[in-house]
Amino acid sequence: MKPFYTNLKLPYFFINHKRFVDRTIRRILPRSLFSRSLLMILIPLVITQMISLELFYGNYLSIVSRRLTDTVGNEVEYLHYQLKQANSSVKYRQIIRDAQRYFQYSVYVYNGKLNLAKKHKKANIIGPVDELLNQTIADRIEEPFIIDWFSIKDQVKISIELKQNVIEILVPKKKLTAGSFWLFIFWIVGSALVLFVMTSVFAWVQFRAIRRLSKSVEKFGKGIDPGDLRPNGSRELRNAAIAFNGMRERILRYVKQRTVILASVSHDLRTPLTRLRLSLAMLPQTGKINAEDQVQDILEMITDIEEMEQMISAYLSFARGEGTEEPILTDILQLIKDSIAAASRAGTRFKSINISPNLPDLVLRPHSIRRVITNIFDNSKRYGGEVEIKVIVKNKGIEFIIDDDGPGIPLEKRESVFTPFETGNTQKGTGLGLSIAKNIIQGHGGDIQLHTSPLGGLRVIIYIPK
């Protein structure tokens, strides 16, 4: 079915345009997460500094420049007025001395006319001070004038044309400057660089843990064991490293157990298959066969087939593990009661049952957990006599304590019995029950331990976190 916008030209154009923009942005942006993070830090920092420069210094420079030019304009207007009113050389010299003394201006009066071609030449300075000064003088003086910012290094020459002569006023540039602009720029850029470097160092330390995690995952994906990853960095990165270590350990255990199964299947099945082959070879090949004479051989072959079926069923159960069962919110109290009832029907004798009434509901795979409990009960029934079970709340999770009065398991074998095909005793069995139970419990984030029971047998402690 075609998208709805295929018949609409305008939305289709915008969609194609968006794809083009996305591709262009992806080509421009750096590839690594560290570089993109630095870019995300740098761009807002630069924008913020530019806005600060415009709002603070731009506004400040405009206000101060207006005030300075107003002051200079008033003083130039006063001198212009006084010189126009002077009617003697003595008066001229007095005005010039007063201008130097009170305003720090150098004033010259000479005959001639102004070259107005230079009037609109723009000064190469930062800020609006040249335009403001030109506007201020124009508002206060009606005669033609020229403002020259270039002829004298540290002074501004203001030339005003009168009827018979020209007044030339030299104003110190420091009276028209608001301060060192470049010093402010250096402060803005320098502080931004310092902040950027500090942030970059901090980000590099954090992303170093991400790079280490990425390399470990890449190696492990290629079949190379990178070893345990040391958790460091922020809490999220530490949790990720811990989760990776747990995943790595579980996958390695999974692969090792499956390898052991493949190596053991042929060994365990070879004995019953040999007996079947021998029984078939012993059957008469000619003449009449008396069925009654073959009953014992047939029963032995049936026994061998049942043994093979039992082995294959155990192997499949172990290989299947938790299967495709999805975790759901489960009533733990009801699950335990059902498991105890089923075990009682199967012949398990319970000496005492102590279940906390306030067990919380947990999100887990109920059939897998029931399978673990049932397996523990079956082992207790097979190797022991009576069973005690206690279920309590611990650290917001649930702890199962199951005791029996059987022979127990020697201390030196309590770790090895969780290995596939280890039974911990001389009785017949596949040795997969506890391995399956441990896989299921660890898959729920819990743990299973074996201890000596007060009843003299084995104590199994199972903890499932919330």
Q: pLDDT tens-digit profile of 246-259?
A: 888 878 877 776 77
pLDDT of residue 318: 59
Q: Give residue limits of the domains in the chain.
A: 56-175, 215-265, 326-464
Query: For a pLDDT cut of 70, what percent of the chain falls above it?
Result: 80
C-beta separation of 143 from 162 below 8 A = yes
**Residues forming a β-bridge with 450:** 460
Burial (CB < 10 A; 0-12, 13-18, 19+), residue 387, is buried
What is the model's pTM?
Answer: 0.47
**Residues forming a β-bridge with 460:** 402, 450
3-state secondary structure 288-344: CCCHHHHHHHHHHHHHHHHHHHHHHHHHHHHHHCCCCCCCEEECHHHHHHHHHHHHH
Which segment of 51-65, 84-98, 440-454 scores lowest on mean pLDDT? 51-65
pLDDT of residue 240: 85
Instruction: List all residues 6 or more positions away from 391 whose beta carbon is below 8 Å from its beta carbon.
Output: 332, 336, 354, 355, 356, 359, 398, 399, 400, 401
Give tens-digit pLDDT for 397-421: 899 999 988 888 888 887 777 776 5
- pLDDT greater at residue 11 or residue 81: 81
Residue 267 pLDDT greater than 80, yes or no: no
- pLDDT greater at residue 76 or residue 291: 76
C-beta separation of 147 from 130 below 8 A = yes
User: Beta strand pairing status for 106-111 and 165-172?
Assistant: antiparallel
**435, amino acid identity:** S
* pLDDT averaged over every residue in the chain: 78
Give tens-digit pLDDT for 414-451: 777 777 655 555 454 445 667 778 878 887 888 888 88
C-alpha separations of 167 from 93, 159, 162, 270, 428 in Å? 13, 6, 7, 123, 123
pLDDT of residue 463: 92
Residue 8 pLDDT greater than 50, yes or no: no
Confidence of residue 9 (pLDDT cuts 50, 70, 90): very low
**Residues forming a β-bridge with 168:** 108, 159
**278, amino acid identity:** L
Confidence of residue 10 (pLDDT cuts 50, 70, 90): very low
Confidence of residue 15 (pLDDT cuts 50, 70, 90): low
Residue 155 pLDDT greater than 80, yes or no: yes
Confidence of residue 291 (pLDDT cuts 50, 70, 90): low
Cα–Cα distance, 443 to 322 (Å, whole number) = 8
Cα–Cα distance, 172 to 152 (Å, whole number) = 10
Which segment of 171-185, 222-236, 317-331, 347-361 scores lowest on mean pLDDT? 317-331
Cα–Cα distance, 219 to 232 (Å, whole number) = 19
Q: Which two tokens stand for residue 325?
A: 């069962």
Give tens-digit pLDDT for 200-252: 888 787 778 888 888 888 888 888 888 888 887 778 888 888 888 888 887 88
- pLDDT greater at residue 319 or residue 236: 236
Q: What is the mean pLDDT of residues 336-346?
A: 86
C-beta separation of 111 from 159 below 8 A = no
Confidence of residue 377 (pLDDT cuts 50, 70, 90): confident
pLDDT of residue 432: 62
Of 26-30, 73-77, 111-115, the range with the highest mean pLDDT is 73-77
- Of the candidate CATH numbers 3.30.565.10, 3.40.47.10, 3.40.1280.10, 3.20.20.20, the domain formed by 326-464 belongs to 3.30.565.10
pLDDT of residue 420: 64
pLDDT of residue 190: 83
Residue 95 pLDDT greater than 80, yes or no: yes
Residue 189 pLDDT greater than 50, yes or no: yes
Residue 5 pLDDT greater than 50, yes or no: no
- pLDDT greater at residue 179 or residue 140: 140
Confidence of residue 4 (pLDDT cuts 50, 70, 90): very low
Q: What is the dotted CATH code of the domain comprising 56-175? A: 3.30.450.300
352: phi then psi, degrees, rounded to nearest 5: -155, 150
Q: What is the mean pLDDT of residues 126-132?
A: 77
3-state secondary structure of 17: helix
pLDDT of residue 320: 61
Cα–Cα distance, 465 to 398 (Å, whole number) = 6
C-beta separation of 364 from 444 below 8 A = yes
Same CATH fold assignment for domains 56-175 and 326-464: no
